[in-house]
Amino acid sequence: MGYTVVDKNEYYRRGVYRHFTEDCRCSVSMTARVDVTELAESSKRRGTRFSVDFLYILSKALNSRADYRMGHILETDELIVWDRIHPTHYVFDAETETCTPVYSVYSEDYAEFCRGVERDIAAAKERGGYALDMRGHPNWFDASYIPWLSYDSLNVELPDGYLHFAPIVNWGRYREEDGRLMMPVTVRLNHAVADGYLISKVFLLLREEIERFCGG
């Protein structure tokens, strides 16, 4: 759970950071369709879960750049960069129609990551309930799969006064479009630490990581 404190006077986005933490606290979200044709084929060929494979790729993409690992310590008003961030994902209970948070540790080693995620999912199904523990997991980001719908847009609203810098990423069901499998992905980031470029960059990183994962 290590981190580095950022000198706000030296922060390359210091002007933007000041404005969107003092004058206009807000978030920015963007939805785009990601081509997951090769990833879906790879998961089917390997006999792995597509959702877990995408979770690994997403975690790797977000950990590749400090901008997506930003954090804020309320007690000291410090801007920090986490050494690593990890995914909070969810399992759905069809009987109660509720979700249980699953805290998994990101590892760049794919096999190790998958073993941990499968173990965490099994434990969450056994445990049940909405035991969200953000205080105990400060460097976890939200990664929520919405498998029932291939949506066109999605907005996640947070209180303007709360400096929540962790990414919030949602993705829905993929669908065929012109012979390709396209999946909606929504990325939300706090405007103090991200703008349209940095959010767009997430989608470009996802594309690169999918190609790398599938051997392209």
Both tokens of 9, joined, read 């006077």
Q: Which domains does the chain have, with CATH numbers?
A: 3-213 (3.30.559.10)
Provide CB contacts within 8 A for 4, sequence distance 6+. Answer: 80, 81, 83
pLDDT in tens, 115-170: 999 999 999 999 888 888 888 899 999 999 999 999 999 988 777 667 999 999 99
Q: Report, in angstroms and rounded to the nearest whole number, the Rg of the chain calculated over CA atoms.
A: 17
Q: How do the pLDDT tens digits run along the chain, 216 residues long?
A: 799 999 999 999 999 999 999 999 999 999 999 999 999 999 999 999 999 999 999 999 999 999 999 999 989 999 999 999 999 999 999 999 999 999 999 999 999 999 999 999 999 999 888 888 888 899 999 999 999 999 999 988 777 667 999 999 999 999 999 999 999 999 999 999 999 999 999 999 999 999 999 985
- Sheet with 3-5, edge to edge strand ranges: 3-5, 78-82, 70-73
- The count of other CB atoms within 10 Å of the CB of residue 6 is 20
Contact (Cβ atoms closer than 8 angstroms) between residue 159 and residue 21: no
> Based on the number of CB atoms within 10 Å of its own CB, is 36 exposed (0-12), middle (13-18) or buried (19 or more)?
buried
